[in-house]
Structure formats: C-alpha cells, structure tokens
Amino acid sequence: MKKHAFLLGLSLLSSTVLADNYNTQVDFDYLTVDDFDIIKLEGTYYFDSVTTDNTAWAEAAFMGRNNSASVSYLDFDGAAYALTLGGDYFYNDIFVGLDVTYTDTDYGSSDTNVSGEVGYFFAQNWLVSISGNDEDFSDSLALNTKYIATLADEAFINLEASFLNDDNDFTAAADYYWTAQSSVGVDLSTEDGYNFGLSAQHFFTPAISARLGYMSLDDDDAIVIGLSGRF
C-alpha cells in the first residue's frame, strides 16, 4: 500500500503543468515515529484559480481566500485508516471550514467525526477563528489566529497560535520565507508529550515542492517527508 501511494504521488507530480496559477493541489506525506509509519495522500480542488503573485507560494490559497473542497486518505501502519472529506469557504471577511472523518481499525471498530472552524478576517492577512469537533465538544474548542506579514525584499513571515480549551494548552508556530518559494519554521506547544517541531519547504518550480519536518516527542522523535504538486 505504501509503495502504491508513493508511486501515485510521483505520477501526479510528473503530470503537473508549470504555471503560477493552479486549481488543484495533491499532497503526499510520509511520517515515521518509533517504527510506526503513517502515509497521507490528499487532493484539494479550488473553485477559483489560485495565484501565487505577491505572496509566499505556500500561503497563496489563504491569502487569496480561495474556496475549496478536499479529500484525504491516511494509512496508520496498516492497522487503521481514515478518510476525510472537507472544505473551506470564504465570504467577504468570514471563513468557514468543515471536515468529516471516517476512521476504521483492524480491531473491528469505526467512528465518524465532524470538525468545524468559523473565523473572521480583521485584515486581509489576519484571521481569528474558533474550532471544535462533535466528540467532547467543549474540551475540543480552540481559539486560533493566523497572520501573514510582508517584509522587505519580497520576504514573508507566517505566525499562528492556538489556545486549546482541553487542559488550557497553548501552541504557537512561525514560518519565515526568505523568498516566496523557500521557508523554515518552528512550532512549540505546552501539550503533554510534545516538545517542539522544525520544518522546511521549497518550491523547485511553481508546480512542485518538497518539505521536511522534525518533531521532538517525549517518547521518540518523528520525521515527516512531503511532496506537493499543483496544476
């Protein structure tokens, strides 16, 4: 299964059209931690063409407020899988996101979870939102913010933070784009078992990018490798 997913991701990348604007993005991610492997394949369709002009390429859909629908498949080391259908909707300064996830395990159990997010843009590049899901609703609530600043010499910085109602945990992340195509990032959290994370992403062309992530956990470290194609 892992081999087929990887080959599918490569084939989709090879068929991408080299253009600054795109309507479809396909992401392939591989995570390994403590001899446990997770593979994710996701496809997103944007109803209006997304442009990468005058912004960090990784943040183009957010800055353009492009409505989208997505589907993703996760394989948890062959022991379980999850299928998610989702969408993002922007109306003027209002944002609504919705995901429906079906999970099935080899132990004969299955579950369907609905999660949502509602937010408001206080500026073109600043969103504040509330998110939660239908399981343990009050504990799952989170207050989130995301802000993208344009710096000198066509550089950008992305700042994100969340306050989680469950255990009053706080998370924060920052990505620095020294060009529109390349970034490095760091994230921190007060959640139990998580220390910090590091990440990097680079667009080799407007259609193809690769990313690498590292997470420091109490029990072990995790490595994430990803590829994306746009067309």
Please list, in sequence order, all residues whose beta carbon lies within 8 angstroms of the beta carbon of residue 217, skipping any fewer than 6 positions away. 33, 193, 194, 195
Average pLDDT over all residues of the chain = 92
| Total domains, the chain | 1
pLDDT at 48 over 70: yes
Strand partners, 172: 161, 188
Mean per-residue pLDDT for 99-111? Answer: 92
Give the residue among 70, 111, 116, 119 at the shortest CA–CA distance from 90: 119
Q: Enter the tokens of residue 87.
A: 């969408």
Q: Which of 176, 44, 5, 41 is nearest to 186 (CA)?
A: 176
> Could you give the CA distance from residue 86 to residue 71 in angstroms, rounded to a whole number?
6
- Sequence-ordered list of residues with C-beta below 8 angstroms from that of 60, at least 6 positions apart, any chain: 50, 51, 52, 66
Q: Which two tokens stand for residue 154?
A: 């066509």
How much is the pLDDT for 223?
97
The average pLDDT across 109-121 equals 96
Residue 14: the pLDDT is 44
Which whole number is the average pLDDT over 185-214?
A: 97
Domain, as residue range, for 78: 2-230
* pTM exceeds 0.95 for this model: no
Number of Cβ within 10 Å of residue 58's Cβ equals: 23
Contact 183, 201 (CB under 8 A): yes
Q: What CATH number is associated with residue 24?
A: 2.40.160.40
Q: What is the mean pLDDT of residues 12-27?
A: 69
